[in-house]
Structures are given as structure tokens and as C-alpha cells.
Amino acid sequence: MRKYLFIVGVIAVALMSFQFNTTDDEPSNKVALGEKLFFDPILSSKKTISCASCHKPELAFADTTQFSPGVDGILTDRNTPSAMNLAGRIHLFWDGRANSLEEQAIQPIISKTEMNLPIEEAIARLKEDKVYSRAFKRIYKSQPTEKLLGDALAAYQKNLETANTPYDRYINGDDSAMSASAIRGRLLFIGKANCANCHAGEDFTADRFKNIGLYDGKNLRDVGRSKITGDSTHVGHFKVPGLRNVAVTPPYMHNGMFKTLREVIEYYNKPDAVVKNGINRDLSLSTPLGLSAQEIADIEEFLKSLTDDRFKK
């Protein structure tokens, strides 16, 4: 009798799976679908890399190389930023060429230096894949489209928020959550060092573009935002990145020219000592900050306190 009931149960489960076209490895909602797509090399021309190849989960969805290699080994033009804590952002990419995560998600797929896959072919692959075809029909009531692909990838990225840091515990009332050095660094961050002038809000970015002096027209020739807007006053302007988990995402800046947080802070302290003749550099960086070695160390400790617990080593 028990054997009979077991067989009946197996048949019932099989029929249910057939009825709803579901299997254990098929995503059941758009966040899960976006996650599967994010890690699947099906979206690259040679099926060799995925979004996660450059946006590595263990590195706060960034990369620790100056420039990441694309599908054919061609290096990207800019350093890979973190894909975390972007849910509220209104400008994406270093030059702000995308205004939503849905729009941003498609660009690496079609980029010749990244995944190098025409969007038409990407959609055709998803339609031909039984798992993806069924998943899109079940979740979106539609076959895969460019818009739905962007929506699914964006849904997953919007889920990559972090707020479990020493800093968060400190501002929520736990005075012991940050070290004395980090607490001093926080006061310097919002005071003498003037970091909060650009790095504001919960994610420490105001969604603005700034020229911090990393364009000189000779050795540093990436014009940044102006390539998108056509406005010459935007030459050398780049999106102010968020700072959550920044301690685990070296190297830094759009060109990855600084290997450590200490180098970044030292640059802001004396910009001319690193890049002389930075064209159109923001006036807030017109004079040295006058930070001492201890103050630089304190700011570094504060930035480390923005690291989510999941990335602690």
C-alpha cells in the first residue's frame, strides 16, 4: 500500500510539473530570473563570460583589475564599478549614459569590448532555450524581449542592497560599532576633508558629476561626461560613485589609477602632487586640504566601516 501511494505521489508531482511547465532549475520570479541571467554566459557572443565575470559577488560585484577583459580578451575602457546599491540611482555608468538600471543592463551585452552580442541574437538565444522560454512566459506572460531582459536583470540588481555595516549600526545608536579612529574619520569626512560635499546620502553619492582633476588632455585623456552631452564644460566630469563596500573594490577612479584607499585620500589632500594641470578641476579641490597622516588614516578607517558584514574576511 505504501509503495502504491508513493508511485501515485510521484505521478501527481510529474503531472503538476507538466501542467505548469516548471522544473527545479527554473526561476519562479523576475528577481530569480535576473540572477540566473546575470551568471549565465549565454549572453556573451562566445558563451564564455557573464555579467558576473566582471561584477564578482565576492568583491561587492566589482572587479579588482584596473580594466576587465571582455569576451575576446579586449580590456574595457574604464574600471568596473560595483553593481550593488544602485536601486535609487538615476545615472548609471561613469559617464551617466544610462538613466535606469533597465537601460544599463543591456549595454554590456551589446558592447563590442564586453560581451559583444547583438541584442537580436541575445533574444533569439533566450527564445530557443527551453528553460528561459518557459520562465519568461510564466513570469511575464510573454516570450523574451529586450525590454523584459533589461527588466529581469534590473530586478536582480535592485536586490543587491547592503546596510549591515559598522557605520549603519553606529548611526542607529550603537556607539561601540565603530572604532575611535573611524568615528574621527567620519567627522573629518563631513567636515575638514569636505568629502560629503559629493559623497552624500545613504549610499554616499548625490548622483552628480564632478571633475576632480583626472583629465589633463595628455596622459589622462578620457573626456567623460562631455562625450555624452556634447558640452565642453563637462570635459573630465565623471559620476560620483557610491562608497558602500568601497574598501573591497580597489582599484579606484574611472581609470583605476589608485590601488588603495590611502592613495585616493592622499590625492584629494594634495591633487597637484599627483596630477599637475588637471583641466577644469572642481574649485573645491583648488587648495590642499592640509590633512595630517593621522587624519588620513582616520578617514580610511571610516571608509572601511562602510563595508557590509558579508564581505568581512
244: domain CATH number is 1.10.760.10
Domain assignment present for residue 84? The answer is yes
Query: What was the pLDDT predicted at 25?
Result: 77
Regarding whether 303 and 193 lie in a shared domain, the answer is yes
Residues 239 and 173 in one domain: yes
Q: What is the pLDDT of residue 10?
A: 39
- Are 140 and 146 spatial neighbours (Cβ–Cβ below 8 Å)? no
Gap between the Cα atoms of 30 and 130, Å rounded = 17
CB 261 within 8 A of CB 253: no
81 plus 134 within the same structural domain: yes
Question: Max alpha carbon distance in the chain (Å)?
Answer: 87
pLDDT of residue 20: 32
In a shared domain, residues 54 and 92? yes
Point out the residues of the chain with pLDDT beneath 50.
Answer: 1-23
How many domains are contained in the chain?
2
- What confidence score (pLDDT) does residue 312 get? 85
Are 24 and 153 contained in the same domain? Answer: yes
One domain, residues 173 and 305: yes
- What range does the domain containing 130 cover? 19-157
Q: Which residues contact 281 (CB under 8 A, 6 or more apart)?
A: 211, 212, 213, 236, 271
Residue 174: the pLDDT is 98
Residues 270 and 299 in one domain: yes
User: 124 and 217: one domain?
Assistant: no
Please report the DSSP string for 196-233 in residue order: GGTS-TTTT--S-EE--S---SSS----BTHHHH--GG
- Per residue in 15-74, pLDDT (tens digit) is 333 333 334 578 999 999 999 999 999 999 999 999 999 999 999 999 999 999 999 999
